[in-house]
Amino acid sequence: MCFVEGCLVKKDNMIWVVKGIVHPRGYLTVLPRYVIRDEDTGNDGNIIKKIGLKNPEEYYRAIITNTNYGKPVYNKCAGRATPLMRISEVEKFYDPFKPVVCEEKRDSEPCLVHEYLSSAIEHGKVGLTGSSYFGWTPQNDIDVIIFTKPNDIAEVITEIKRRTSEISWKDALSIMIARQYLLQNLTMLTRIKNSISQRRVLGNNVFIRILTVNPFTYSECQYSILKEGEARLHGIVIEEESFVYPYTYKVRVLSSVFLEKNQEIIIISDRGRFSEAACKGDEVKIKGDYEAKIYSPSRIEHHVYLWSQHHYIVPIKTS
């Protein structure tokens, strides 16, 4: 059983992707990805529809308007309504380290990339996710997830840089335009091109997520999220972990209506492919949900959470 970000599960002739690394007790936070119902028989078959939306917010809008995608219910780990699936209702868990495509098409591009990275990355374990896992849409980027230990992150990043290549300028420009970066200049374009998450492997564009959890261990969130409003701020990045999911930044506030000057606040970006490329030392503008993470009445932590199409952390002056 696979319980964390990027894992795939099946229920009701649909493939769902797991979101996050902690969940409400007995549930998984999920988003719908592929309809696999056979059009003639109604039984499981090949993919007949990819629910490919442009950003996380669009998924939630689609879920609200389409009952076939599950009924959103309040998720205390997110502070809003999301699709939740009881673990007992999951019909099948897919092992990210044993892609279906490699059982059926060993010479396919996703399988070759998986086998190559599995041998190249010595300090992590490599899996596939998304349509790459099944080999359904080979024209897309190949989605890779790497699980490693916190102390091995630096080694994994070094191995990725050494054994893979940067994407082309053309691909970097396409990404910047498609993801609608608010700051579209040469600095941002260069950061996209140099990114660890977007690489070139065996002639294929590959999107990489690094996680420091055991995918087969279920973790219940020990807190509740209370959304307290929208935060806009201008600050300086003093620490960043933009290589590891969830992507986090520590920012010192320079100005904000919501926060005090010189306050240090954690920014968490859960926008996946749309996560920004801010670096330590950058002067940034930020827009996101200001949240209280409540463990107990005496332990409350605050952060700014980015998940919507309209959220951002934008470098306005780079280091």
Four-residue CA torsion sign, 260, 265, 267, 268 = negative
CA-nearest of 275, 277, 310 to 5 is 275
Mean pLDDT score across all residues of the chain: 87
pLDDT band at residue 41 under the 50/70/90 scheme: very low
pLDDT tens digits for range 124-143: 999 999 888 987 665 678 99
Task: Determine how β-strand 80-82 pairs with β-strand 14-18.
Answer: unpaired
* Structure token digits, residue 39: 């059009």
pLDDT of residue 34: 83
Q: What is the dihedral of CA 157, 144, 126, 156, to 10 degrees?
A: 0
pLDDT tens digits for range 173-193: 988 887 777 677 788 888 889
Contacting residues for 281 by C-beta, under 8 A, at least 6 apart: 236, 237, 318, 319
Average pLDDT over residues 12-33: 91
* Structure token digits, residue 51: 């629910």
pLDDT tens digits for range 81-94: 888 999 999 999 99
pLDDT of residue 192: 87
pLDDT band at residue 58 under the 50/70/90 scheme: low
CA-nearest of 9, 6, 14 to 88 is 9
The rounded distance, in Å, linking the Cα atoms of 162 and 165 is: 8
Average pLDDT over residues 196-203: 93
The helix, strand and coil proportions of the chain, stated in percent and rounded to the nearest 5, come to 25, 40, 35
Domain boundaries, the chain: 8-94, 100-211, 224-317
Decide if 86 contacts 72 (C-beta within 8 A). no
Write the CA distances from 257 to 19, 289, 304, integer angstroms: 31, 14, 14
Ranking 37-41, 85-89, 163-167 by mean pLDDT, the lowest is 37-41
Four-residue CA torsion sign, 57, 62, 68, 73 = positive
pLDDT at 26 over 90: yes
pLDDT tens digits for range 247-288: 999 999 999 988 999 999 999 998 776 666 788 999 999 999
Decide if 240 contacts 250 (C-beta within 8 A). yes
CATH architecture of the domain 224-317 equals Beta Barrel (2.40)
pLDDT at 42 over 50: no
